[in-house]
Structure 1
Amino acid sequence: MTTLKIEHFLEKNDIREVTIFKQLVLNGGKLSYANMLEYLSIAKASLEKDLESISFRIESLADQVQVTFDGQFIFLTMSNDFSLQHIYKLYLNQSVKVNLIRFLFKHQEFSITQLTQELAISDSSLFRKIKELNSFLKEFGIKIRNGQMHGEELHIRHFYFQFFSYIENKEALVASHTSKQIAQMLQAVESFLHITIEPTNRQRFNTWMMISKNRVNSKSKQYTSLRDHMQPYLEDPLYQKIRIMVLRYFSRYSIEVDEEEAMLHFAFFLAFPILNEHDFHEYTLERDRRAPIATLDTYIVETIIIHYKFRKLPYMLERDMHYHLSHIHTKLYFFQGDMEVYAFEELLAKEKQFAGRKMVSFAHKLLGISTTKFGILRAEETQSVKMDLLKYISLLAMASFKMRTIVKIGIDLKMEKFYTETLNQLLILNMRHINGIKVEVYQPVKSYDLILTNEQAIKKDCYGDAKVYVLSEISSSFDMKNIQRIIQELHS
């Protein structure tokens, strides 16, 4: 199964041009012609053609972005308010596949003649574009067939939600689709559910409602999977409120909707953080703790506590973990597929640097538990399941960091004060990158876990129970390596 990436909406030459921009960003805005040729594995003539195409493409943005070539190096300069994301948007806005999805969303069905005229392409090109899109849409369990989008309604809306969140121009979207009806619905939701939807979540809500408003009159919607997954939640207090609210909202505009419309909104509310942490906590006090998602939330938290041998998590940390886990598990339970907005391998590599191999291995174990509980075969792992691995790693890192004991370090240098003030600050600066420590100049009235000094103490117990490390050469790499080892031992 092929993961849907933003690049898949672009043509091959467009992908290469965007890659040139990305490589320049990753290399500080300057890369040799030879290195670019090697990275792209293309001929010199092809790169020259790409650079010429880039110059033409960004000609109107000369005050914001420039790509220049001096015969040896390629240079990139961008204004402070311009980024690589703007480059992606520039290319995506002119993409045939993006325009195809836009048209399909707006009209819900098309004829081949109608669409070839709209996109100004041949029949064979259109069929090829649809075939390419379907290979990526497979992950969402949906496909374009006979001029329509087919599949579970929840998965279709989820795909459109991703499309309008990451592909479509948000400014244009807001301008063309903002309506009084959606604004009224948002106010009604806050009032009826007694919640406060925060600004970021309002944007998600508006996008979802715009999609729902468009899709509600779609013919022959499928709800088979949704109905099955909703069985344990039909008596859920939040679902009951959403059900009343949704039926009232659409009846106002003389639109008859199925009860499944409320189910779609319930799944969305819990998977994509519409509720803030306080409002979600209020909901957890009344939800059925034996229902699949709540059961898994609790099981995963207990597994983490046992694994790290925590006696008990602080109340606010446990509450925070339940909030994030519920989003992960609701999405895993109800939804299928995801768009790779951030390169998975790059993100995983960065998280590994911070988390370490053991934490990543444990995150894999948690993912295995979750997919097994929900009956998702590992062979069926989609992009959404892979991204859940990253979310587990981030969650574990957060919990580990908050539970980590702060190692208190005192610096007690035995030399003239004239030197100690400077050298104390040098040591503190060199250690500031180490997480979970508090470093200060030694004060006899305080207790410490570790003392750094340049002379062995005459009395063995003069620093109490603190470990003592005698510096060989202040701020040397040898000493810093040993100090970090001691800190890790004190943490474990």
Structure 2
Amino acid sequence: MKVEHFLEKNEVREVTIFKQLVLNGGKLSYVEMLDYLAVAKASLDKDLESISFRIQSLADQVSVSYDGQYIFLTMSDEFSLQQIYQLYLSQSVKVKLISFLFEHQEFSIIQLAQQLMISDSSLFRKIKELNSYLKEFGIKIRNGKLHGEELNIRYFYFQFYSYIEEKEALVVSHSDKQITQMVQAMESFLHVTIEPENRQRLNVWMLISKNRVHFKEKKYTHLREQMQPYLEDPLHQKIRLMVLRYFSRYSIEVDEEEAMLHFAFLLAFPILNEHDFHEYTLERDRRAPIATLDTYVVETIIIHYKFRRLPYMVERDMYYHLSHIHTKLYFFQGDIEVYDYEEMLSKEKQFTGRNLVSFAHTLLSISTDKFGINKAEENSLVKMELLKYISLLAIISFKMTTIIQIGIDLKMESIYTETLNQLLILNMRHINGIHVEACQPNKVYDLILTNEQPTQKDRYGDAQVYVLSEILSSFDMENIQRIVQQLNV
């Protein structure tokens, strides 16, 4: 599910105009914008007029102007594209519909149509559109209620209040001592310290849980099935005891599954810090599905990169991130694509290389096959977890990369040498794990860049030599990057 799915078609075009202006340095020709949006001139004119009206209250922070040839964007230093999205989402009928459903848990068509000030037919259309996107979460709005597995419903609301509706609105309107006490009780029972950013996530989850705990018609079929290997898990047992004791203080009857919901959430999201999670891994059953997959994927990575062994802290860090990825795949369905998948994938390919992305796909196939997830279906969760695999592999590559020493030894007049040395160094800054400098006497290098074939073979010791065909050419740059990757293996 994409953030844009909460907006109307014309609103999507308008935020796309903002996005294109940001990507093009705040200036884009009218013709180029027409081509990109693939709309008629009248539509673009109408969109620009709508944008001007929508942002008029923010005139001191953002403006869009058109001089007859170019469209311009200016924003204050403390204003960003994210706030543009929030402006549009705050006025979205679909967002208001979901918020109303969360607050009241059910509605009548007449009641909600009046609340949103739209016709019954428009409301039916909005619900139908939302249901087409909610399908990947395994949930559906029907007969004025949200139907589906309770874990999926809470997870969707968590995503919604984390990325779509401003979570501050949820916290301010619902926060009370009961939530604060429950978070403190969790820290005490689990003997952990939850850091401020993680505490924010936990507060949102607890507020959603408090709202849902009184709902009578909760469904746990899939959760019970997935929890079978974890019923005796030490973390689950601690959470179970905490939940039963805590709610009994308020004379609230809760299902046994309430603890299961919190268990899945705690392991899928970075609530526990790395140290506390590591303490848990020492106790957990290593034969349980998530732990088994964590170990298998770690071993696959070690074999792939031909590492003899990983440094202890690198391996620990890897287990921490992999367990979040695998827990989400094991327990949850769907995701809200906060970051544009294609753009993120393109950027990560540029940054990490095609080989790493290909290996991330291999790891994802291992995980989805293990958990029986159908990759053929439109599944934002699978797509976003792929990006996390790529990021994790990049982190490992950076941490395990030895610094390749590169010396530049150009044979030409010194007035050219100094300038070209600096240009070569600047053009190679994007290559990770290297140190480049003008060749120093008696210093050992892994790679020498020169423009003439050396006459003495032992002049550079054991260093590999690359003779530049045309200084600063893309041909040479690609070959140098290939050699660096080979030296790092």
Counterparts of 1:236 and 1:16 in 2: how far apart (Å)? 49
Counterpart secondary structure, 1:340:
coil
**Aligned twin of 1:264:** 261
Task: Give the counterpart of 1:47 among 44, 61, 80.
Answer: 44
Which of these residues, 189, 201, 204, is aligned with residue 201 of structure 2? 204
Q: Which moved more, 1:373-382 or 1:311-320?
A: 373-382
- Do the aligned partners of residues 131 and 468 (structure 1) sit closer, same or farther apart at CA in structure 2, a change above 3 Å counting? closer
- Give 1:121-160 correspondences, 5 Å limit: 121-160=118-157
**Distance verdict in 2 for CA 1:68–1:443, change over 3 Å:** closer
Within 5 A, what are the aligned runs for 1:85-164?
85-164=82-161
Q: Deviations over 1:464-492 (max 9, x none)?
A: 21223456776666655554443343234
Q: Distance in 2 between matches of 1:64 and 1:201?
A: 31
CA shift for structure 1 position 150: 0.7
Amino acid at match of 1:450: L
Using a 3 Å threshold, how does the CA distance of structure 1 residues 316 and 409 change in structure 2: closer, same or farther?
A: same
Report what 2:458 is aligned to.
Answer: 461
Correspondent of 1:303 among 292, 300, 304:
300
Q: What TM-score do the two structures reach when normalised by structure 2?
A: 0.94
Say whether residues 1:393 and 2:390 are aligned partners.
yes
Q: What SS is found at the alignment partner of 1:378?
A: coil
Deviation by residue 1:414-473 (Cα, 9 ceiling, x = unmatched): 789888766654543333222121224545554321234567666533432122345677
Q: Distance in 1 between matches of 2:327 and 2:12?
A: 34
Shift of 1:118: 0.8
Residue 8 of structure 1 is matched in structure 2 by 5
Alpha carbons of structure 1 residues 425 and 212: separation in structure 2 relative to 1, 3 Å: same
What's the Cα RMSD here?
A: 2.2
In the superposition, relative to structure 1, how do residues 222 and 437 fare at CA in structure 2: closer, same or farther (>3 Å)? same
The one-letter code matched in structure 2 to 1:198 is E
Does structure 1 conserve the Cα–Cα contact (< 8 Å) formed by 2:167 and 2:204?
no
Query: Residues 334, 462 of structure 1: CA spacing in aligned structure 2 closer, same or farther, 3 A cutoff?
Result: same
Q: CA–CA distance in 2 between the matches of 1:131 and 1:455?
A: 69
Matches within 5 A, 1:21-420: 21-380=18-377, 382-412=379-409
- SS of the residue corresponding to residue 376 of structure 2 reads helix
Deviates more, 1:343-352 or 1:139-148: 343-352
Give, in whole Å, the separation in 1 of the partners of 2:5 and 2:473. Answer: 49
Alpha-carbon distance in 2 for matches of 1:96, 1:477: 50
Question: Which consecutive residues of structure 1, in runs of 5 or more, have no partner in the other structure?
Answer: none
Q: What is the CA-CA distance between 1:26 and the residue it aligns to?
A: 1.7
- Please identify, of 123-132 and 228-237, the stretch whose mean Cα deviation from structure 2 is larger: 123-132
Letter in 1 for 2:238: K
Query: What is the CA–CA distance in structure 2 between the aligned matches of 1:419 and 1:357, rounded to whole Å?
Result: 35
With over 3 angstroms needed to count, the CA separation of the structure-2 counterparts of 1:204 and 1:349, relative to structure 1, is same
CA distance in 2, matches of 1:103, 1:472: 66
How far is the alpha carbon of 1:320 from its aligned partner?
Answer: 1.1
Check 1:481–1:309 CA distance in 2 against 1; reply closer, same or farther (3 A cut): closer
Shift of 1:188: 2.0
**TM-score normalized by structure 1?**
0.93
Task: Flag the 1:32–1:468 CA change in 2: closer, same or farther, 3 A.
Answer: closer
Query: Whole-Å Cα distance in 1 between the matches of residues 184 and 259 of structure 2?
Result: 17
Q: Percent identity?
A: 80
Asked if structure 1 preserves the Cα contact closer than 8 Å seen for 2:139 and 2:148, the reply is yes
Amino acid at match of 1:400: S
Q: Deviations over 1:139-179 (max 9, x none)?
A: 11111111111110000001100100111123323322222
Shift of 1:373: 1.0
AA in 2 matched with 1:324: H
Q: Distance in 2 between matches of 1:439 and 1:489?
A: 17
Cα displacement string for residues 255-291 of structure 1 (whole angstroms, at most 9, x for unaligned residues): 1111100000000000011011111111101100000
Unaligned runs of 5+ in 2: none
Q: Does 16-25 or 432-441 show the bigger shift?
A: 432-441
DSSP 3-state at the match of 2:74: strand
SS in structure 1 of the partner of residue 63 of structure 2: strand
SS of residue paired to 1:435:
coil
Shift of 1:411: 4.0
Q: Which moved more, 1:61-70 or 1:119-128?
A: 119-128
Rounded Cα–Cα distance in structure 2 between residues aligned with 1:87 and 1:404: 39
Matched AA of 1:489? Q
Of 36-45 and 404-413, the range deviating more from structure 2: 404-413
Alpha-carbon distance in structure 2 between the residues aligned to 1:301 and 1:76:
46
Q: Which amino acid aligns with 2:304?
A: H
CA separation of 1:12 and 1:484: change in aligned 2, threshold 3 A: closer
**Of 453-462 and 216-225, the range deviating more from structure 2:** 453-462
CA–CA separation in structure 1 for the residues paired with 2:486 and 2:170: 53
SS of the aligned residue for 1:24 comes to helix
Q: Distance in 1 between matches of 2:110 and 2:291?
A: 50
- CA deviation digits over 1:266-325, x for unaligned, max 9? 000000110111111111011000000000000111111122222212221111111111
Q: Secondary structure at the match of 1:339?
A: coil
Q: Secondary structure at the match of 2:91?
A: coil
Paired positions, count: 489
